A and B are shown apart, each in its own frame.
Chain A
Amino acid sequence: MKIQNKQWAALCILLASAALVYSSSSLAGTEPKEKKVKPNPMLIVQGAKTWKENCGRCHNLRSPKELTDEEWDVSVSHMRVRANLSKGDAEAVRAFLKASN
């Protein structure tokens, strides 16, 4: 078990390192700022559904008016990790919350 444990840890560290290198290259890039466009209505509808199905699983649904757009940006990123949401789901929820606050 001791050896297996070490091997697991080594494998995971290796994977994490590779992931870190991969992502750091994109962090250092000079990509343009995100383009600001008005979200399409279907994204807002999808966001409302995703919001209800995922956020309500653990806690009551906050009113969209509780936070500003910028605060929702960060709050949804936090919940993307905690609730295991995809990037697409997170963006849809953001679009719904911003359109509703």
Chain B
Amino acid sequence: MKTSLFGSTGLAMLLFLAAPVWAADETESATAKEMNLALLARIEKLEAELAAVREAVQQSTAIATRAETNATKTAASVIKVKKFASAAADASYAGAPSDSKWHLAGYADVGFVGSNGPNADSFVTGKFNPSFHFQYKDKLIFESELEFLTTSDGKTEIELEYSQVDLFLNDNMTLVMGKFLSPIGQFQERLHPSWINRIQGAPAGFGHDGIQPASDTGFQLRGIIPLAKSKWTYAIAVGNGPRTNSEGGVAFEGVGRDDNRNKSVGGRVGFFPTPYLEIGGSYLTTRVNGYMGPGAPGLILGGPIDARYELWGFDASLTKGALAARVEYLSSNRDMLFSSTLEDPAGILLPELGMEAWYGQVSYRLSKIGDSDFIHKLEPVIRYGEFRISGQNELEEENAQNRLNIGLNYWLSPTIVTKAGLEWRDFTVAGVDSETLYQFQMAYGF
């Protein structure tokens, strides 16, 4: 019994003691459950946040990729712009690379001529000679020069001095086609423009009604032959040739239609032993028809109506520093032929015509004399020449002469000059009075 009591009591105590423990366990279980739920909610929240972060990262990656692509494109554009700018800079340095280019050049002059001869002292308007140059790549150039003149009675004359296409065949050879200045000698092709010519007029025989051919219409092959330290130049020309004028002379004015079946063939060869010395030789041969003036009834049959015409000459120039010395000589011969003239429109036999002209000229710029700028711009010049004609009395009376020029030039700039000069014309035909001219001129090459 006692045992049983102890046992019952113990069990009761155990129960008594166990009850709160049981109760405590239940409380803890509930708390854990709540905590689990909270954790679960937190995890879900974290997962949601993670998903959001992932999406944000993906979007950022896409944006970064697009940005990188744009940056690459921009860099490529920058490179293109840089290349373009560099090319533009090069182009502006070396000149615009256009295929066609042009240039307006030329010269003009005004002046005064006094004389002790029959003509009154006169102001002269001189000439206005614009020249146009059009170039296509480095292949060809078209060039043309007009000459505007005021005549003694106030009219304006316009002449086409030359109009030619220059085709560059290779580095050293050019084909010239059209109306060109005669390559015979030096004066006509290179020295006659008033801003280049040191004296107001042409040397005797080298102007109009002279021996010097002015121009021809046809073609030229011209160029350069380098030879060691020296240089050769050449110009071979074929053209329509000259015509007989109403005074019986030979006019070489670049006619647009040939009046016979013979072309003129001629040219010049130049040699440069040193860069400052040039020696040249010229030759031309052709045939020339008699003159058929307006109203002429016709030429006499049975005689020569065309004649051989030959011209030859030489020239030399020494140009070094302030000194320029030149000499030219030309000689021509035309056989006899029947021709009408103003005096004999029905036609007469014109005898053989011979012409000969030469001149020598020296100019010296005082650029190294003293310290004065005024003195440095002065340039004295002297020229002497002779022109002889045989076989045509009228031409001889009017033109055959000895001519002496002295002058003093003042250069306002390298291309603007004022000239003051005296010219003595001593005509060779007996009875023709000599003449003294006082010449002033301002010329501008532009």
Q: Which of B135, B166, B224, B319 meets A85, CB within 8 Å?
A: B224
Q: Is the interface of A mostly helix, strand, loop or mixed?
A: helix
Query: Measured between alpha carbons, how far is A10 from B291 in the docked complex, in Å?
Result: 26
CB of A34 within 8 A of CB of B221, answer no
Contacts of A19 in B (CB 8 A): 167, 169, 173, 175, 221
If the complex has contacts A5-B263, A16-B175, A73-B135, are A58 and B94 also in contact, measured as CB distance less than 8 A?
no
If the complex has contacts A2-B262, A2-B287, A82-B190, are A8 and B93 also in contact, measured as CB distance less than 8 A?
no
Residues 58-80 of chain A: 1 if any B CB is under 8 Å from the residue's CB, otherwise 0?
Answer: 11111100110111111101101
Closest chain B residue, CB of each to CB of A67:
B103
Contacts of B140 in A (CB 8 A): 23, 27
CB of A59 within 8 A of CB of B97, answer no
If the complex has contacts A2-B287, A19-B175, A57-B317, are A70 and B415 also in contact, measured as CB distance less than 8 A?
no
Contacts of A69 in B (CB 8 A): 94-96
Contacts of B276 in A (CB 8 A): 53, 57
A-B contact count (CB 8 A): 160
Closest chain A residue, CB of each to CB of B278:
A57
Contacts of A5 in B (CB 8 A): 262-263, 265, 285-287
Query: Measured between alpha carbons, how far is A59 from B414 in the docked complex, in Å?
Result: 9
Query: Is A12's CB within 8 Å of the partner chain B?
Result: yes
CB of B95 within 8 A of CB of A59, answer no
Q: Which of B102, B138, B222 meets A84, CB within 8 Å?
A: B222
Contacts of B173 in A (CB 8 A): 19
If the complex has contacts A5-B262, A62-B415, A70-B98, are A56 and B319 also in contact, measured as CB distance less than 8 A?
yes
Contacts of B143 in A (CB 8 A): 78, 81
CB of A36 within 8 A of CB of B265, answer no
CB of B196 within 8 A of CB of A58, answer yes
If the complex has contacts A8-B265, A19-B175, A60-B414, are A75 and B133 also in contact, measured as CB distance less than 8 A?
yes
Query: Is A40's CB within 8 Å of the partner chain B?
Result: no
Contacts of B285 in A (CB 8 A): 1, 5
Query: Measured between alpha carbons, how far is A26 from B95 in the docked complex, in Å?
Result: 23
Interfacial residues of chain A within 9-56, with CB under 8 A of chain B in the complex: 9, 12-13, 15-16, 19-20, 22-23, 26-27, 33-34, 36-39, 53-54, 56
Contacts of A59 in B (CB 8 A): 195-196, 415, 445
Closest chain A residue, CB of each to CB of B191:
A58
Q: Is the interface of B mostly helix, strand, loop or mixed?
A: strand
Query: Measured between alpha carbons, how far is A38 from B92 in the docked complex, in Å?
Result: 10
Query: Measured between alpha carbons, how far is A85 from B134 in the docked complex, in Å?
Result: 18
Interfacial residues of chain B within 122-140, with CB under 8 A of chain A in the complex: 133-140
* Shortest beta-carbon distance from B148 to chain A in Å: 20
Query: Measured between alpha carbons, how far is A69 from B91 in the docked complex, in Å?
Result: 11
Closest chain B residue, CB of each to CB of A59:
B196
CB of A84 within 8 A of CB of B224, answer yes
Contacts of A82 in B (CB 8 A): 189-190
* Shortest beta-carbon distance from A81 to chain B in Å: 5
* Shortest beta-carbon distance from A101 to chain B in Å: 10
> Which interface residue of B134, B170, B278 has the most chain A CB atoms within 10 A?
B170
Query: Measured between alpha carbons, how far is A65 from B182 in the docked complex, in Å?
Result: 31
Q: How many residues of B contact A (CB 8 A)?
A: 72
* Shortest beta-carbon distance from A95 to chain B in Å: 9
Contacts of B221 in A (CB 8 A): 12, 15-16, 19
Query: Measured between alpha carbons, how far is A12 from B239 in the docked complex, in Å?
Result: 11
CB of A86 within 8 A of CB of B262, answer no
* Shortest beta-carbon distance from A85 to chain B in Å: 7
* Shortest beta-carbon distance from B373 to chain A in Å: 16
Q: Which of B95, B169, B190 meets A58, CB within 8 Å?
A: B190
Closest chain B residue, CB of each to CB of A94:
B95
Query: Measured between alpha carbons, how far is A67 from B414 in the docked complex, in Å?
Result: 14
Query: Measured between alpha carbons, how far is A86 from B434 in the docked complex, in Å?
Result: 47
Query: Is B87's CB within 8 Å of the partner chain A?
Result: yes
Sampled A-B contacts (18; CB under 8 Å): A2-B287, A5-B265, A16-B175, A19-B167, A19-B221, A36-B87, A36-B90, A37-B94, A38-B94, A62-B414, A63-B414, A66-B415, A73-B101, A74-B101, A74-B133, A75-B103, A77-B138, A83-B190
Residues on A facing B (Cβ under 8 Å): 1-2, 5-6, 8-9, 12-13, 15-16, 19-20, 22-23, 26-27, 33-34, 36-39, 53-54, 56-63, 66-67, 69-75, 77-78, 80-88, 98
Q: Beyond A63-B414, A73-B135: 11 further Cβ-contacts under 8 Å?
A: A5-B265, A8-B238, A13-B238, A26-B139, A36-B93, A53-B275, A58-B186, A59-B415, A78-B103, A81-B166, A84-B234
Residues on B facing A (Cβ under 8 Å): 87, 90-91, 93-99, 101-103, 105, 133-141, 143, 166-177, 186, 189-191, 195-196, 219, 221-224, 226, 233-236, 238, 261-263, 265, 270, 275-276, 278, 285-287, 308, 317, 319, 411, 413-415, 445
